[in-house]
């Protein structure tokens, strides 16, 4: 009880100090109340008083030993965490901006040597990954040692060191921090038994439960207690906002770390595959060099053997006399055989050259497939250049051998000339006939040996051809495997993209659901109060609803009468089909269908509107109902909001129409326009859009947006418009800078059901001037309109779509064309939509026929 009395005295002293400072004057007291940091410090001090007081009272009543599951003890740690975070400076880290209390707590071990044991044990804990978790573990260990007040007192004394971590107005830098340290002395009477290893201190949410502090029957009538409760509720909202910001930063950091780890593993796998391909190519290059060297050696040996044969034949010609004719025939025969051999060698060389070309083609294909990933292939290209140089040397040597064969042919020609001279000396060579016969036998033996060598060479060449065919088959299989691997990687990459986009959408939906849940909780109490008033008004509404149903049935009958109507030619339209009154042909010019289309083509605008009188007595200044048609440069369209807005502006501003509201009879039924201040409001039908399969219109979407991420895809069958919603991660500038070749959209659309393309994007809250709910662009090359600057008919679909996704009936839209435009959209309960916009008339004139 003595410890409790000392606690109350310290609390009274802490609360009395700001009271004395407020007595200095009325002006200073008013400024202190208005300072938000002073209010925050006072709220934190009050929360610390309540938590410490409640903890001590509950511990003394139930026993002094407390466990980690004890609720007042958990609330105490949450309050201390918020007190230490107040006024903490933001430090810039590698990934983002960091704000943690672990930095000032690490100073304690330098100022107080006994705290080194706590800091070392906190760092050695295996389950802690964040600085905030280490700080929470440090506070629990300090409480168990009963030295939390001593440790924090060391920090408060050294305020020059704390200035590195806290702002000048922080709680730890002011007198409130000293008061809290004095209150912590009372916790020395408590024995805490906490298990730090088993708790998940990194991901705990620091939300204060005020229910245990608000239910006290003794303090119900006190005014001071009510003031404390209001201060605590204000601080609760502040703490919850801080928790939301911390959770968002932690989730973003985890996502970045996961993406970096995945990209690192992919790069390692690609490097390993690239190294294996390089080793294979080097081995094939060495084999080609060895084969070329063998071919050169064989050709050289063959040339040397032919030279020896020619020299022996020349010697026999010199020593022979009677067998010159036979030797001449043999020489001819040998020449033919040599020419045949030369032809065979040339054929073999051609085969080798063709094989070389095939190998070069295979190498080029491999280079094209791997060039984007491997810079080391530059060395392989240099090696290929060396192989080409060796082949050129072989080709030059072949040319030299051909030149030698030509020289031999010239020598044979000379020998034929000499045979005429040798016939005169035939008589002198009769004695050497026996020697010539012996030489002939030796020549035949040499011919047989030469034939055997040729056979062996042909067999070896066939073996080499079979080996090269096997190598080609291996190369083809390797290419197929690599292509399949690349396709699998691309498929995995596309799947990961889709999962990332889905996860982003889910996170955004979760955050929006949290906000909606908080708003619904506040609205729930308000709705309970309004229920009694609404029950009294239900009887009056029932009578009004019955009258509204009768009016709706009348409107539906009128719309049914208008549905299925087709514009007649001007010559055939003589009476109104609704009221059966006769049209006036004397007060208007008779324009046929071709003239309408020719005028629209000559104007060459997105849409040209034609206003016409419905009755003889109609006047553009006094009447309120007119006929209206719209034509693009190529055809007539059933609805156009932009041209309807222009028609209403001409009647209101140029013709000075006296009515506040105008009605236009069109192919889409009756459309109404009215003036509201500087805007004209159009009453248009509202069209729904339904989900569309991506595969059916994949080519059209990729032609329009390329590789951009598409979040949603819908189709409106009533207007034949395709709605493409881009990812919410894109900003307005991305949609504005997107270059769409509208002429390529027509051949890309294969279904035949799309006549207009809408690109839309969700608005953001970071705009400088206005916060638009959504942005859009509209393309209709099927109707001769490459891009419409502002499109009302497109917003009859966009209004329905974004109302469902945003939960709004009042929206502000912006069409981001080169000219651009702003529209106010309001959905009505009768299934229609009001679109308001401003109009500027820039040109007036007359047409002469």
Residue 181 above 80 pLDDT?
Answer: yes
Do domains 564-674 and 690-827 share one topology? The answer is yes
The pLDDT assigned to 8 comes to: 42
Residue 713 above 80 pLDDT?
Answer: yes
Which one-letter DSSP state was computed for residue 711?
A: E
Among 628-642, 736-750, 758-772, the range of highest mean pLDDT: 736-750
Residue 361 above 90 pLDDT?
Answer: no
Residue 528 above 80 pLDDT?
Answer: no
The pLDDT assigned to 589 comes to: 47
The pLDDT assigned to 29 comes to: 36
Kindly report the length of the chain.
849
Residue 90 above 80 pLDDT?
Answer: no
Are 599 and 847 spatial neighbours (Cβ–Cβ below 8 Å)?
Answer: yes
Mean pLDDT computed over 106-120: 83
Instruction: Give SS3 for 611.
Output: strand
Mean pLDDT computed over 258-284: 75
The rounded mean pLDDT for the chain is 76
The pLDDT assigned to 620 comes to: 85
pLDDT per position as a tens digit, 377-420: 565 566 666 766 666 776 777 677 677 777 877 877 777 777 77
Among 196-200, 458-462, 605-609, 723-727, the range of highest mean pLDDT: 723-727
Kindly give the residue spans of alpha helices, DSSP state H, lying in 423-432.
none
The pLDDT assigned to 26 comes to: 38
Mean pLDDT computed over 9-14: 41
The pLDDT assigned to 689 comes to: 92
The pLDDT assigned to 1 comes to: 39
Are 623 and 600 spatial neighbours (Cβ–Cβ below 8 Å)?
Answer: no
> What proportion of the chain, given as a percentage, has pLDDT over 90?
12
Structure tokens at 82: 């918020």
Task: Report the candidate in 40, 60, 51 with the shortest Cα–Cα distance to residue 80.
Answer: 51
In whole angstroms, give the CA distance from residue 14 to residue 9.
9
Identify the band that residue 722 occupies on the pLDDT scale cut at 50, 70 and 90: very high
Are 785 and 608 spatial neighbours (Cβ–Cβ below 8 Å)?
Answer: no
In whole angstroms, give the CA distance from residue 640 to residue 605.
13
Are 837 and 831 spatial neighbours (Cβ–Cβ below 8 Å)?
Answer: no
Nearest-10 crossing angle of helices 223-319, 324-370:
180
Of 112-116, 243-247, 662-666, the least confident:
243-247
In whole angstroms, give the CA distance from residue 254 to residue 247.
11
Mean pLDDT computed over 93-101: 55
Which one-letter DSSP state was computed for residue 697?
A: G
Q: Which residues neighbour 203 within 8 Å (Cβ) at sequence distance 6 or greater?
A: 250
Identify the band that residue 563 occupies on the pLDDT scale cut at 50, 70 and 90: low
Per domain, the residue ranges of the chain are 2-215, 274-419+435-500, 564-674, 690-827
Q: Exposed, middle or buried by CB within 10 Å (0-12, 13-18, 19+), for 166?
A: buried
The pLDDT assigned to 569 comes to: 56
The pLDDT assigned to 705 comes to: 92
Mean pLDDT computed over 42-63: 80
Q: Which residues neighbour 211 within 8 Å (Cβ) at sequence distance 6 or greater?
A: none
The pLDDT assigned to 213 comes to: 60
Task: Report the candidate in 590, 613, 594 with the shortest Cα–Cα distance to residue 602.
Answer: 594
Identify the residue with better confidence: 237 or 312. 312
Identify the band that residue 13 occupies on the pLDDT scale cut at 50, 70 and 90: very low
Residue 128 above 70 pLDDT?
Answer: yes
Residue 429 above 80 pLDDT?
Answer: no
Residues 347/352/358/359 CA torsion (nearest 10 deg): 180
Kindly give the residue spans of alpha helices, DSSP state H, lying in 657-770.
698-705, 732-737, 745-748
Q: Exposed, middle or buried by CB within 10 Å (0-12, 13-18, 19+), for 253?
A: middle
Q: Which residues neighbour 548 within 8 Å (Cβ) at sequence distance 6 or greater?
A: none
Of 8-12, 57-61, 229-233, 590-594, the least confident:
8-12
Sign, CA torsion 783/786/790/794: positive
In whole angstroms, give the CA distance from residue 508 to residue 248.
11
Beta bridge partner(s), residue 609: 630
The string of DSSP codes covering 521-547 is: HHHHHHHHHHHHHHHHHHHHHHHHHHH
CA distances (Å), origin 835, targets 278, 604, 777: 65, 25, 17
CA angle 355, 361, 364 (to 5 degrees): 145
The pLDDT assigned to 21 comes to: 35
Instruction: Give SS3 for 131.
Output: helix
Instruction: Give SS3 for 506.
Output: helix
Identify the band that residue 714 occupies on the pLDDT scale cut at 50, 70 and 90: very high
Q: Locate tokens 């990961």: which residue?
A: 496
Q: Locate tokens 């955004």: which residue?
A: 508
The pLDDT assigned to 25 comes to: 38
192 phi, psi to nearest 5 deg = -105, 135
pLDDT per position as a tens digit, 281-323: 778 777 877 777 787 787 778 777 777 877 776 676 566 655 6
Among 155-159, 304-308, 793-797, the range of highest mean pLDDT: 793-797
Instruction: Give SS3 for 777.
Output: strand
Structure tokens at 379: 């060395």
Kindly give the residue spans of alpha helices, DSSP state H, lying in 96-220.
102-106, 108-111, 116-124, 131-145, 148-157, 159-162, 175-184, 211-214
CA distances (Å), origin 591, targets 519, 599, 644: 59, 10, 20
Of 8-22, 59-73, 95-109, 817-831, the least confident:
8-22
Q: Which residues are catalytic?
A: 607
CA distances (Å), origin 511, targets 245, 247, 514, 521: 12, 11, 5, 16
**Whole-prediction pTM value?**
0.34
Structure tokens at 748: 């890309």
Instruction: Give SS3 for 507.
Output: helix
Task: Report the candidate in 52, 49, 65 with the shortest Cα–Cα distance to residue 12.
Answer: 49
Q: Which residues neighbour 128 within 8 Å (Cβ) at sequence distance 6 or greater?
A: 122, 134, 137, 201, 202
Residue 219 above 70 pLDDT?
Answer: no
The pLDDT assigned to 794 comes to: 92
770 phi, psi to nearest 5 deg = -130, 150
Identify the band that residue 220 occupies on the pLDDT scale cut at 50, 70 and 90: very low
Instruction: Give SS3 for 567.
Output: coil
- Choosing among 3.40.30.10, 3.30.230.10, 1.20.1250.20, 3.10.310.10, the CATH entry for 564-674 is 3.10.310.10
CA angle 642, 643, 647 (to 5 degrees): 125
Residue 189 above 80 pLDDT?
Answer: no
CA angle 251, 255, 259 (to 5 degrees): 170
CATH architecture of 2-215: Up-down Bundle (1.20)
Identify the residue with better confidence: 696 or 8. 696
Are 644 and 671 spatial neighbours (Cβ–Cβ below 8 Å)?
Answer: yes
Mean pLDDT computed over 432-441: 72
In whole angstroms, give the CA distance from residue 789 to residue 132.
53
The string of DSSP codes covering 539-606 is: HHHHHHHHHHHHHHHHHHHHHHHHTT--PPPTTT--B-TTT-PBPPSSSS----HHHHHHHHHHHTSS
Q: Which residues neighbour 487 within 8 Å (Cβ) at sequence distance 6 or greater?
A: none
Task: Report the candidate in 194, 180, 201 with the shortest Cα–Cα distance to residue 133.
Answer: 201
pLDDT per position as a tens digit, 438-489: 777 877 777 777 778 777 877 887 888 888 788 888 888 888 888 888 888 8
In whole angstroms, give the CA distance from residue 234 to residue 207.
13
Kindly give the residue spans of alpha helices, DSSP state H, lying in 63-125.
71-85, 102-106, 108-111, 116-124
Instruction: Give SS3 for 604.
Output: coil
The pLDDT assigned to 666 comes to: 87
92 phi, psi to nearest 5 deg = -85, 125
The pLDDT assigned to 602 comes to: 85
Identify the residue with better confidence: 496 or 196. 496
- Is domain 690-827 annotated with CATH 3.10.310.10? yes
Q: Locate tokens 């609360």: which residue?
A: 15
Identify the residue with better confidence: 752 or 5. 752
Mean pLDDT computed over 342-371: 72
């Amino acid at each position: 009880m003595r410890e409790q009395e000392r606690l109350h005295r310290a609390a009274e002293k802490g609360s009395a100090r700001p009271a004395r400072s407020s007595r200095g004057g009325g002006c200073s007291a008013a400024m202190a109340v208005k300072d938000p940091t002073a209010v925050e410090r006072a709220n934190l001090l009050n929360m610390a008083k309540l938590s410490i007081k409640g903890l001590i009272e509950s511990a003394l009543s139930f026993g002094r030993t407390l466990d980690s599951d004890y609720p007042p003890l958990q609330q105490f740690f949450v309050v201390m965490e918020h007190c230490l975070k107040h006024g903490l400076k933001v430090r810039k880290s590698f990934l983002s901006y960091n704000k943690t209390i672990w930095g000032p707590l690490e100073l304690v071990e330098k100022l107080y040597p006994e705290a080194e044991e706590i800091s070392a044990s906190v760092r050695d804990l295996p389950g802690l990954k964040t600085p905030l978790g280490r700080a929470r573990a440090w506070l629990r260990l300090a409480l168990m040692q009963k030295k939390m007040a001593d440790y924090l007192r060391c920090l408060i004394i050294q305020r020059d060191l704390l200035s590195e971590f806290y702002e000048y107005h922080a709680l730890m830098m002011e007198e409130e921090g000293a008061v809290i340290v004095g209150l912590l002395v009372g916790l020395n009477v408590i024995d805490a038994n906490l298990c730090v290893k088993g708790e998940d201190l990194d991901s705990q949410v620091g939300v204060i439960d005020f229910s245990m502090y608000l239910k006290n029957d003794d303090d119900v009538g006190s005014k001071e207690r009510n003031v404390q409760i209001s201060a605590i509720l204000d601080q609760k909202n502040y703490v919850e906002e801080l928790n939301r910001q911390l959770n968002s930063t932690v989730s973003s950091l985890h996502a970045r770390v996961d993406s970096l780890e995945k990209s690192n593993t992919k790069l390692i796998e690609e490097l390993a595959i690239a190294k294996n391909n390089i080793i294979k190519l080097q081995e094939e290059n060495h084999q080609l060099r060895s084969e070329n060297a063998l071919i050169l050696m064989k050709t050289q040996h063959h040339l040397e053997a032919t030279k020896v044969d020619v020299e022996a034949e020349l010697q026999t010609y010199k020593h022979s006399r009677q067998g010159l004719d036979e030797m001449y025939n043999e020489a001819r025969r040998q020449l033919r055989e040599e020419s045949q051999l030369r032809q065979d060698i040339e054929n073999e060389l051609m085969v080798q050259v063709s094989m070389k070309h095939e190998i070069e083609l295979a190498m080029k294909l491999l280079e094209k497939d791997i060039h984007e990933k491997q810079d080391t292939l530059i060395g392989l290209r240099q090696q290929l250049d060396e192989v080409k140089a060796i082949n050129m040397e072989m080709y030059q040597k072949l040319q030299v051998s051909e030149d030698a064969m030509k020289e031999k042919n010239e020598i044979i020609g000379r020998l034929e000339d000499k045979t005429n001279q040798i016939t005169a000396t035939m008589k002198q060579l009769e004695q050497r006939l026996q020697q010539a016969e012996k030489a002939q036998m030796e020549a035949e033996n040499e011919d047989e040996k030469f034939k055997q060598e040729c056979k062996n060479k042909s067999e070896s060449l066939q073996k080499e051809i079979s080996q090269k065919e096997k190598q080609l088959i291996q190369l083809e299989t390797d290419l197929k495997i690599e292509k399949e691997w690349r396709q699998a990687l691309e498929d995995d990459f596309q799947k990961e993209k889709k999962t990332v986009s889905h996860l982003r959408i889910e996170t955004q939906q979760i955050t929006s659901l949290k906000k909606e849940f908080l708003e619904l909780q506040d609205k729930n109490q308000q709705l309970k109060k309004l229920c009694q008033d609404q029950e009294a008004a239900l009887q009056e509404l029932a009578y009004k609803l019955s009258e509204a149903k009768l009016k709706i049935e009348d409107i539906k009958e009128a719309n049914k009468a208008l549905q299925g109507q087709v514009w007649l030619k001007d010559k055939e339209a003589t009476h109104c089909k609704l009221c059966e009154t006769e049209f006036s042909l004397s007060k208007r010019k008779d324009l046929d269908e071709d003239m309408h289309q020719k005028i629209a083509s000559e104007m060459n605008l997105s849409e040209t509107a034609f206003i016409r009188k419905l009755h003889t007595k109609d006047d553009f200044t006094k009447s309120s109902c007119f006929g209206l048609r719209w034509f693009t440069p190529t055809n007539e369209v059933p609805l156009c909001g932009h041209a309807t807005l222009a028609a209403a502006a001409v009647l209101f501003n140029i013709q000075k129409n006296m009515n506040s509201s105008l009605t236009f009879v069109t192919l889409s039924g009756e459309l109404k326009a009215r003036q509201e201040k500087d805007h004209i409001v159009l009453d248009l039908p509202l069209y729904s859009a339904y989900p569309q399969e991506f595969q059916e219109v994949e080519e059209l979407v990729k032609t329009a947006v390329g590789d951009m991420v598409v979040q949603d895809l819908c189709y409106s069958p009533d207007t034949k418009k395709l709605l493409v919603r881009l990812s919410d991660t894109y900003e307005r500038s991305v949609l504005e800078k997107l270059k769409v070749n509208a002429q390529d959209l027509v051949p890309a659309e294969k279904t035949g059901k799309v006549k207009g393309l809408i690109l839309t994007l969700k608005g953001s809250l970071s705009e400088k001037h206005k916060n638009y709910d959504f942005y859009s662009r509209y393309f209709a090359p099927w109707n001769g309109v490459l891009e419409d600057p502002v499109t009302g008919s497109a917003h009859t679909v966009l209004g329905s779509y974004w109302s469902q996704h945003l939960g709004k009936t009042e929206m502000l839209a912006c069409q981001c064309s080169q000219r651009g435009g702003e529209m106010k959209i309001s959905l009505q309960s009768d299934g229609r939509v009001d679109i308001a916009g401003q109009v500027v008339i820039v040109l007036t004139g007359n047409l002469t026929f």
